[in-house]
A and B are shown apart, each in its own frame.
Chain A
Amino acid sequence: MVGPNITVDALRHLAPVAPDWPGNEWWHWLVFTVILIVFILVMVIIFIYLERRIIAWFAARIGPNRTGPFGFFQNIAAALKLLLKEGVNPTNADILIFWLAPIVNFAPVIAVFAVVPFQNGALLADLNVGILFVIAIGSISTIGVFMAGWSSGNKYSMLGAMRMIAAVVSYEIPVVLALAGVVVLAGSLSLNDIVIAQERVPFIVLQPLGFLLLFVGGCAEINRSPFDLMEADSELVAGFHTEYSGIKWAMFFLGEFGEMVVMSTLIATLFLGGWQGPGLPPWLWLLIKIFIVDFIMIWTRATLPRVRIDQLMALAWKFMFPLALVNLIITAIQVLAWPDALPLYVIPINWAITVVLVLLGSKLFKLGWGRVEV
């Protein structure tokens, strides 16, 4: 075996390492639940503020700057306004589902955070199937979206919801395959173990293709531009939540940005090393990484036009799915070839493979002809 040992086999850690946080005390659950709910709400407010402010800066505007210092209380004011607004129920709406939809949309977002570590062991539940939990629970939001689109009794909403279902079902596959690469490298499904496995090298260095696929697929799953077809302000006029108002609309808004927090956290945890980092306290490192991912998401939103629905599907099935599969296979082979630890020269090899695969994929990638004869 040549080269230094750069990844750590996670299995090594299962027994001895003492967590930084007393995870087994009875009050741990209570405290952490409160922390998580507060964390998510605060993060969502910060994210909305950043989104509005940064996208304004990108678009040569100033953004909200009147309410409070630097306009930071604008979202709180907006939330208060939404709380006081009348909730309108459309005549054609299926009221029960119409009311349930925002809750179904928002609740899973909080639940996902149960498995995200803020520090070694500092997480609500160190599930040994953490990633599976994230994917399974994260997808429930989609049902909320579809319930909203269906029950609104509005054609625009229905179209938006249909697009959402199609997009999420398609993008789940490349995203899961990209995550599988990480799992194979770390040798564990627990997010905490995956972070520990990135002690020396974050997985973005080892798995550039996986990162790219997760980022793009993640953007599509949480309907961020350029894949925001379900909302599409210029086409569907907000898509599935066209008919919502007041607090129910605010729930969707929270859910949407909550999903963004989840996706940023997931990317930061799985690929950027989570709470690992020198000097600063671990939770701060995690926050910094979350905000970096968020900034890139805002940046793409500010720049790129929207893709069409068939192009969205084509991208998932014809471009990302084969690439994710190849990525997984290559990762598996590498892990099998060097079962103890990966040598340093794997990094340039992986980057080269990424470039070649992306170029080849783009070369072979053909979009369907857009026009349908009717």
Chain B
Amino acid sequence: MQLRTEPFVLNIGPVHPSTHGVFRMRATLDGEVVVDLEPVFGYLHRGIEKLAEERTYGGVIPLTDRLDYVASITNNLAYVLAVEKLAGISVPERAEYIRVITSEMQRIAAHLVSVGSFLNDAGAYFTPFLYMYRERENIVDLFDMLCGQRLLYSYMRIGGVSQDLPDEFLPALRKFIPHMRTRIDEYDWLLKENEILLARAKGVGILPRETAINIGASGPVLRGCGVKWDIRKADPYSVYDRFEFDIPTGIQGDCYDRYRVRVEEMRQSLRIIEQAVEQIPPGEVRSDVPQLVRPPAGEAYAHVEGATGEVGFHVVSDGSIAPYRCHIRAPSLMNLTALKDMIVGWKIQDLILIFGSFAITMGEVDR
């Protein structure tokens, strides 16, 4: 005998503990199985691209903080690089090193949040999440020392960084590197080989390599599929070509691979910071740039490897003090393109897990 069943629509979000902000998914379920999914964006749209057209080049920097708010520094850096490229401004050596150090610190901080919330989505009741936040606190402390805020740093400036490192900064950072190393190892003990996590995450939400490239995925999502593509290596900006580091890649592009790639990237970031701290030269941190930058008419695209992927700024100038057009390439938005393909057929619990493994930030998706 066949019982009559019918699919039903479940709205996941916009206010839901696991949607990492205000994302909404209209999932059509057949029992526990997701048969259709429609992502709905726009609950956090603030029109940053339009706002940027109304501000001076320097005044856009605080706006870029609010894109991916768990990784403000890399957004700052991408924007600043685009304007520098457009206006032909060079940056002092020391500032370049500071940029590298801060963006790698930021990457660790952002990955800690991603990994923590991924494991939280997997159901490990807040423990890994809070461990990760405890370590992130160290980095946030350092950022606080550096630029006086804990989340929205606005630290980069066109032609350098806002201020030099305080005297206590480098000793504290040197102390932090070995501490973080041991802690990453400890957290690998916590859940890396956990049988339940393996059963939940391995083979779940596979993003095939070709699809990943085709949808324009970037960052850990792309590298989790086994594509060795990292802007820091492929198109080195700042002084990344002076450091030795590896690009960790996954094997088959499942949730577990994305999680592992993030953890390995934290280790590599520590390597970069270690080298940069050794090499950092003394000197100026900001080149002589006028208060109101007037780049010549033209356009420039600059990209950096942010925590979620390739953060790019396409800045068009008409020669005035404000950008004519400032387009933001949001990696999270692009990564979500294949969300439906990856989730359909899995259960609702996998939906949460797969979505969590993207580690999106809604500020960046909706802008």
Physical contact A–B (CB less than 8 Å): yes
Contact between B131 and A307, CB atoms less than 8 A apart: no
The answer, among A225, A303, A309, A367, for a CB contact under 8 Å with B349, is A309
The main secondary structure of chain A at its interface with chain B is loop
Q: Which of A96-104, A190-198, A233-241 contacts B (4 or more CB under 8 A)?
A: A233-241
Contact between B348 and A225, CB atoms less than 8 A apart: no
Q: Nearest Cβ distance between residue B179 and chain A, in whole angstroms?
A: 15
Contact between A234 and B123, CB atoms less than 8 A apart: yes
A318 CB–B CB distance under 8 Å: no
Closest to A166 in B: B32
Contact between A61 and B191, CB atoms less than 8 A apart: no
The answer, among A156, A234, A370, A374, for a CB contact under 8 Å with B203, is A370
Contact between B344 and A304, CB atoms less than 8 A apart: no
B347 CB–A CB distance under 8 Å: yes
Size of A's binding interface in residues, CB under 8 A: 36
Q: Nearest Cβ distance between residue B15 and chain A, in whole angstroms?
A: 9
Contact between B123 and A226, CB atoms less than 8 A apart: yes
Residues of A within 8 A of B200 (CB): 305-308, 311
The answer, among B123, B126, B344, for a CB contact under 8 Å with A306, is B123
Contact between B350 and A374, CB atoms less than 8 A apart: no
Closest to B206 in A: A371
A:48-84 near B, CB below 8 Å: 55, 58-61
Closest to A310 in B: B347
The answer, among A58, A235, A303, for a CB contact under 8 Å with B352, is A235
In whole angstroms, what is the CA distance A305 to B31 when docked?
Answer: 23
Contact between B10 and A155, CB atoms less than 8 A apart: yes
Q: Nearest Cβ distance between residue A259 and chain B, in whole angstroms?
A: 18
In whole angstroms, what is the CA distance A82 to B346 when docked?
Answer: 38
A228 CB–B CB distance under 8 Å: yes
Contact between B350 and A234, CB atoms less than 8 A apart: no
The answer, among B121, B125, B196, B349, for a CB contact under 8 Å with A55, is B125
Residues of A within 8 A of B18 (CB): 234-235
Size of B's binding interface in residues, CB under 8 A: 40
Q: Contacts A234-B17, A234-B121: A374 and B352 contacting too (C-beta < 8 A)?
A: no
B204 CB–A CB distance under 8 Å: yes
In whole angstroms, what is the CA distance A372 to B204 when docked?
Answer: 12
In whole angstroms, what is the CA distance A353 to B102 when docked?
Answer: 56
A131 CB–B CB distance under 8 Å: no
Residues of B within 8 A of A159 (CB): 10, 32, 348
Q: Nearest Cβ distance between residue B6 and chain A, in whole angstroms?
A: 13
Residues of A within 8 A of B124 (CB): 303-306
Residues of A within 8 A of B125 (CB): 55, 59, 225, 233, 301-302
In whole angstroms, what is the CA distance A227 to B32 when docked?
Answer: 16
Residues of A within 8 A of B31 (CB): 162
Closest to A369 in B: B203
In whole angstroms, what is the CA distance A306 to B199 when docked?
Answer: 10
Chain B interface residues toward A at CB < 8 A: 8, 10, 16-18, 30-33, 35, 119-127, 129-131, 134, 190-191, 194, 196-197, 199-200, 203-204, 344-350, 352
